[in-house]
A and B are shown apart, each in its own frame.
Chain A
Amino acid sequence: MKVTADRTRCMAAGHCAVTAPDVFDQADDGLVTVTDPTPPDPARADVLLAERLCPSRAVTVHDA
């Protein structure tokens, strides 16, 4: 599983950082940063939920 986040789409809703805090965070500008781009399998459900919750479609999970 590979995770990317598009900072040009991010609106700083923060759902990803709340849902999968080991994978996403908010940088000092409030926008998303991916802290673990290849999270382990047990994180899959949370990462997929983060993708679903993102209102601006900034989070993408590849090879899900």
Chain B
Amino acid sequence: MTVDTALLPSYPQDRKCPYQPSPGYQELGGEGPLHRVRLFDGKWLWLVTGHSQGRRLLADPRMSADRSRADFPVVLPRFEAPIFKPLALIGFDPPTHSVHRRLLAPDFSLKHVRALRADVTALAHRLIDRITAKGAPADLLNDYALPIPSMVVSELLGVPYDDHEFFEARTVDLLQAKSPEGAEAAGQALWDYLDRLITAKERDAADDGVISRLASRVDGVDLTRDDLLRIALALLIGGHDTTSQMIAMGVVTLLEHPDQLDLLLADADLVPAAVDELLRVVSVTDVSGVRVALEDIEIDGYTVRKGEGVLVSSSMTNRDPEVYPDPYRVDVRRTAGSASRQHMTFGFGIHQCLGQNLARMELEVAFTVLFERLPTLRLAVPRADLAFRKGGTMQGVHTLPVAW
């Protein structure tokens, strides 16, 4: 069918408050679960704000995540870049996707994550030691929130942390690029870097993390060398930017809700559910998944036709009042135990975030150690002066000046 896109609301929209969806999305959420929205290129797709509908669509095998398809929706100009077309772990369908996930499952298991906890705790303490030795103010993003996941992912993958300034900066360039050319240049720089790294590991028969382990599994059939490069790229990018910004944005949210911070600090048992509440509220990527329909799909009175695009909003599915009463409120005691895990921040279906349990552990440690060591932590600038990322998808702050 032909849709007159001129009258549709636009996607994406910038937030007004760093941890609440734009007023435009909030309005849509009040009108129903599925909405047609206009993209930058004049095309449209379905924006899903209903929790149940988002879950069902993302778990539906008739929805494809294959970014190399001609009908796959391009949400922002940067996603026109060839580097984003075959995106491992996010942009493949089964059977390829399932092969990749199974190769990586042992490295991201609960047992492995639990075994890393003591090291991450020691790392957080070392970073606070450095911050206090230097004295206030500190930039909590670059002095704490970023080094934690960046060092963890370096160690896990076997990427030298000495190169962190390079891969962190190119990742921001890639994920925040305004043009396909900018994204491609940044992506290609990371690709070439990882290509050289893998070549060195192959030469030395290295045994130092996920990349060298997978390099030994390259057989040209189930796993090609390009597959390995795509997986390494996805893990390196996915392993540090979102987690670091979630730490930073979580701290901003907690500082503005001191009663909730007090509850979190008073009860260690509450920390896992509190972290999931912060993940729900902040919705740092604000996209639970983008898909294209392979067939006509009926869902609760709506028809998503074959070839139409769907984008599930994490900030809005996370505020569906049928699942979350008083959904805009930050409430770390909202859900007890692992019922807190039903938010859509990590997505749903077979592409749900591979690193979610690692991220949860890093967040638990990061918040706990930070406020234990610096209980009087506060922003060193007025909140209105904090510069947040624009563009409505990957949320974040450019720097986070704090004192204590």
Q: Could you list which residues of chain A lie within 8 angstroms of chain B, going by C-beta atoms?
A: 11-15, 17-19, 26, 28-31, 49, 52-53, 55-57
Please tell me if the beta carbons of A55 and B352 are within 8 angstroms of each other in the complex.
yes
Please tell me if the beta carbons of A57 and B338 are within 8 angstroms of each other in the complex.
no
- For B58, the closest partner residue in chain A by CB is A55
Q: Is B337 an interface residue (CB 8 A)?
A: yes
Q: How far is the CB of B137 from chain A (nearest CB, A)?
A: 38
Which of B108-116, B123-131, B149-157, B229-237 interfaces with chain A?
A: B108-116
- In-complex Cβ contact of A15 among B98, B106, B109, B341 (8 A): B341
- For A53, the closest partner residue in chain B by CB is B341
Please tell me if the beta carbons of B105 and A18 are within 8 angstroms of each other in the complex.
no
Q: Is B44 an interface residue (CB 8 A)?
A: no
Please tell me if the beta carbons of B348 and A31 are within 8 angstroms of each other in the complex.
no
A49 CA to B273 CA, complexed, in Å: 15
Given contacts A13-B352, A31-B105, A26 and B111 within 8 Å (CB-CB): yes
Please tell me if the beta carbons of A49 and B338 are within 8 angstroms of each other in the complex.
yes
A57 CA to B339 CA, complexed, in Å: 17
Please tell me if the beta carbons of B101 and A12 are within 8 angstroms of each other in the complex.
yes
Q: Is B297 an interface residue (CB 8 A)?
A: no
Chain A CB within 10 A, most for which of B58, B337, B347: B337
Chain B residues within 8 Å of chain A by Cβ, number: 26
Please tell me if the beta carbons of B348 and A55 are within 8 angstroms of each other in the complex.
yes
- A contact face: mostly helix, strand, loop, or mixed: loop
Contact sample, A vs B, 7 pairs, CB 8 Å cutoff: A11-B101, A15-B338, A29-B106, A30-B104, A30-B109, A52-B342, A56-B349
Please tell me if the beta carbons of B106 and A28 are within 8 angstroms of each other in the complex.
yes
A53 CA to B337 CA, complexed, in Å: 12
Q: How far is the CB of B53 from chain A (nearest CB, A)?
A: 15
Closest 9 CB pairs of A and B: A30-B105, A12-B105, A55-B352, A30-B109, A19-B338, A30-B106, A14-B110, A56-B350, A26-B109
A19 CA to B357 CA, complexed, in Å: 13
Please tell me if the beta carbons of A31 and B102 are within 8 angstroms of each other in the complex.
yes
Q: Is B261 an interface residue (CB 8 A)?
A: no
Residues of B within 8 A of A31 (CB): 102, 105
Q: How far is the CB of A54 from chain B (nearest CB, A)?
A: 9
Q: Is B368 an interface residue (CB 8 A)?
A: no
Q: Is B59 an interface residue (CB 8 A)?
A: yes
Q: How far is the CB of B287 from chain A (nearest CB, A)?
A: 16
A41 CA to B341 CA, complexed, in Å: 23
- For A31, the closest partner residue in chain B by CB is B105
What 0/1 readout, one digit per residue, does chain B (172-187) give for beta carbons within 8 Å of chain A? 0000000000000000
Residues of B within 8 A of A49 (CB): 338-339
